[in-house]
Amino acid sequence: MSTHSTELNNQNLTNQQSIVPIDFDSILNPKPKNINSKNIHSYIRGIVERMNSHFQIHMDGIHIGKIRITRFRRHDRQRIDNIVSIDKAKQLFSMKLKFNWKNKNVQKTFNMNVIDLWIRSPKIRNELYETDQLQLRQQSPVVLWLQTQLRECPSLCTIRFGRLNHRQEIYRTFKQELNDLEAMDWPPKRISQEFYSMLPESRPKKGARTRVNGIPCIFIPQFHVCQKYLEQYNNTNINIRF
């Protein structure tokens, strides 16, 4: 392992002589010879997936928002876990992923801290939950919403699968699954976030505002994709990991 990787690993958590440092040289490589719009996503995905062996973020509980760093003791391979804040993790692992690439003949520069890169990959990064996430998802009103919309006659259904739908129509049909008291606990932002969690394809790109003719919209996945999600949420024997 290179001296560069050893020096940049956390010297405050444990003695570097007794702990096997995280090999970021291996995590960041192999790097494509020519990075372009076709291979950049697979390259970054590979980095995040390799980081998952050492990093997990707490999504609830007393350590919510903190990162668990996993390494191993050198002489007996015993696992060592340390919990730190995101800012502390970025201090401990300050290396950056840097490269230039082209998108439609426009030169782009990528320059990001490795922890920031991992944090900003919610669909790939390792997440830790203390609560039973499958049970919580099964209790979501979105499950009832899916049941209603999937069995609705296509000619009468106001929801269009595989297309953008007006947010207000999503909110209206969602609240139809709730009583008046329950509906008070579901403001528009919470409803949107629930759909993003339950139907990940509906989540817009970071910073994007999805509109059609100026009207805010939410993407609802194709019919068969929604069917698959509903089957998973209704199956109490399946162990789903999102």
Candidates 219, 188, 216, 224; CA nearest to 201 is 219
Report the alpha-carbon distance of residue 235 to residue 228 in Å, rounded. 11
Closest CA to 219 of 231, 208, 234: 208
Q: What 8-state DSSP symbol labels residue 34?
A: S
**How long is the chain?**
242
State pTM to two decimals. 0.54
Determine the Cα–Cα distance for residues 114 and 47; give it in Å rounded to an integer.
Answer: 9
Helix and strand counts by DSSP (H, E) for the chain: 11, 10
pLDDT in tens, 33-68: 888 878 888 999 999 999 999 999 998 778 889 999
Note the pLDDT tens digit of each residue in 158-189.
Answer: 999 999 999 999 999 999 999 988 899 999 99
Residue type, 17: Q
pLDDT in tens, 63-122: 889 999 999 988 888 889 999 999 999 999 999 999 888 877 888 899 999 999 999 998
Report whether pLDDT(2) > 60: no
- What is the reported pLDDT for 8? 42
More confident position, 104 or 14: 104
**pLDDT at site 132:** 56
Rounded CA-CA distance 115/138 in Å is 32
State the average pLDDT over residues 181-204.
92
**Mean pLDDT, the chain, whole residue set:** 85
What stretches of 9-106 show up as alpha helix (H) in DSSP?
A: 24-27, 40-51, 86-92
Return the higher-pLDDT residue of 10 and 136.
136
Is pLDDT above 80 for 138?
no
Average pLDDT (201-213) is: 84
pLDDT value, residue 220: 96
Name the band, by pLDDT with cuts 50, 70 and 90, for residue 15: low
What average pLDDT score do residues 21-30 get?
A: 91
Give the start-to-end residue ranges of the domains of the chain.
3-131, 134-234
Task: Assess whether pLDDT exceeds 80 at residue 19.
Answer: yes
